[in-house]
Amino acid sequence: MNIRILKPGLLSTLQDMGRRYFLSQGVPLSGSMDTLSARVANKAVGNDDDAAVIEFTYADAQFKAETDLLIAYAGDGAKLIAGEQKLPAERPLFIPAGSIIELINNSAGSHTYLSIAGGWDVPEILGSKSTYITAAFGGLEGRPFRAGDVLNSADPLTELSAKILESLGGAQISYPEWSIPRQLLLPSERKNIRVMRGPEFTWFESTSIVDFFSTPYTLSRQSNRMGYHLEGAVIRRTKTDELLSTAVTPGTIQVAGGGSMVLLMADCQTTGGYPRIAQVAAVDLPLCGQLKPGDSINFKGISRQDAEKLYLEGEQHLHKLSIAIKNRYL
């Protein structure tokens, strides 16, 4: 199966669940900004969660099915259409060769993930297919897509993917009744981001801590896959010691000089020297992955224990969804 990119969109790259084993050499984790949507898109076509997906940023991208396709998409950056026909998210889609698929506006978020049965076929670099543009490796030649790029699916299909394809195949676009209800895996209040206390939480003025938890923060235009610069009440320090650089990770909120905050995201540095006021709960990080400049968020406290419990419950839920899909076809 393969597609040809007709319009690449603002920033389209290949991503998987990230590059986990080279952090000590300064290689960022990378991977999908909204891992939940990426995993849902993979599950819907019978892939493993870690298969490479296309991460589209906003809409205005277009591609052509050069062969019959089994694809799925999830996320809040765009909706997919084929001509006049709307294509539903979060379920497998059979697309016959020759179809032209367009991403159209969905103002809810920023990123949309497109999976294909078998996963997108690019070489693994340092154990991952994720694109890391800064060092120009991973994904498709270490770069965002351009018009004319052709992307192939990898072989072979999982048994599940083959069964899903068999159940849908034909001459027309088709999809099943079922879908993976991603919304049920997300909190209802999507602009409240739950955070744990960071290691340097006690370095800040108590009035700043009150501001942190009670006033909104807005993503500035200086926001990208490395991190989001947050505009809002200034965070003042009581302890002015220099922090010796130490490991940071996606979801870490650093307080830079001048008291402004940066929320680190997928392509963030592996180490940092700014004090860390908070760490976003892993279950809420996919919500952060859908934010865009101008969006405002509020931080709500959560204990380490509760954050871990929610994470493990979420993983359990995702595991059950995979089994439910398998039970339909195998």
Partner 1 sequence: MQASSQADHQLKIYSLSEQGVTIEFGQAISEDLLQLITNFHQLVNQNPFPGFYTAVPAYTTLSVFFDPVKVIQSRELPGEDCFEKVSGYILRLKATLKNTLASQGNTITIPVCYGGKFGPDIDEVASIHNLAVDEVIRLHSSAEYKVYMIGFVPGFAYMGGLNDLLATPRKATPRSAVPAGAVGIAGKQTGVYPLKTPGGWQIIGQTPVKMFDATRPQPSLLKAGDRVVFKSIDLPEFNLLAAK
**Interface positions with partner 1 (CB under 8 A):** 20-28, 125-126, 134-135, 137-138, 196, 199, 244-249, 251-252, 269-272, 279, 281-282, 304-305, 307-309, 311-312, 315
In this complex, which beta carbon is closest to partner 1, that of residue 128 or of residue 161? 128
User: φ, ψ for residue 276 (rounded to 5)?
Assistant: -105, 110
Whole-angstrom distance, CA of residue 301 vs CA of residue 291: 19
Q: How far is the CB of 269 from partner 1 (least distance, A)?
A: 6
Q: How far is the CB of 245 from partner 1 (least distance, A)?
A: 6
Strand 296-301 relative to strand 192-197: parallel, antiparallel, unpaired?
parallel
Q: How crowded is the C-beta side of 91, counted as CA atoms within 13 Å?
A: 14
In this complex, which beta carbon is closest to partner 1, that of residue 75 or of residue 272? 272
Q: How far is the CB of 248 from partner 1 (least distance, A)?
A: 8
With vertex at residue 32, the alpha carbon angle to CA 276 and CA 4, rounded to the nearest 5 degrees, is 150
Query: What CA–CA distances, in Å, run from 213 to 228, 264, 280, 295, 317?
Result: 18, 18, 13, 17, 29
In this complex, which beta carbon is closest to partner 1, that of residue 52 or of residue 95? 52
Helix %, strand %, coil % of the chain (to 5): 25, 30, 45
CB 94 within 8 A of CB 169: yes
Amino acid letter at 161?
S
Q: How far is the CB of 124 from partner 1 (least distance, A)?
A: 11
Cβ neighbourhood burial of 205 (10 Å; 0-12, 13-18, 19+): middle
In this complex, which beta carbon is closest to partner 1, that of residue 134 or of residue 238? 134
Whole-angstrom distance, CA of residue 328 vs CA of residue 168: 13
Closest CA to 326 of 47, 106, 77: 47
Q: How far is the CB of 137 from partner 1 (least distance, A)?
A: 4
Query: What CA–CA distances, in Å, run from 196 to 14, 65, 176, 314?
Result: 30, 44, 40, 17
Q: How far is the CB of 289 from partner 1 (least distance, A)?
A: 15
In this complex, which beta carbon is closest to partner 1, that of residue 24 or of residue 240? 24
Q: How far is the CB of 132 from partner 1 (least distance, A)?
A: 8
In this complex, which beta carbon is closest to partner 1, that of residue 138 or of residue 289? 138
CB 158 within 8 A of CB 115: no
Q: How far is the CB of 43 from partner 1 (least distance, A)?
A: 16
Tokens of 299: 């931080």
In this complex, which beta carbon is closest to partner 1, that of residue 113 or of residue 137? 137
In this complex, which beta carbon is closest to partner 1, that of residue 161 or of residue 279? 279
Q: CB atoms < 10 A from the CB of 328, how many?
A: 12
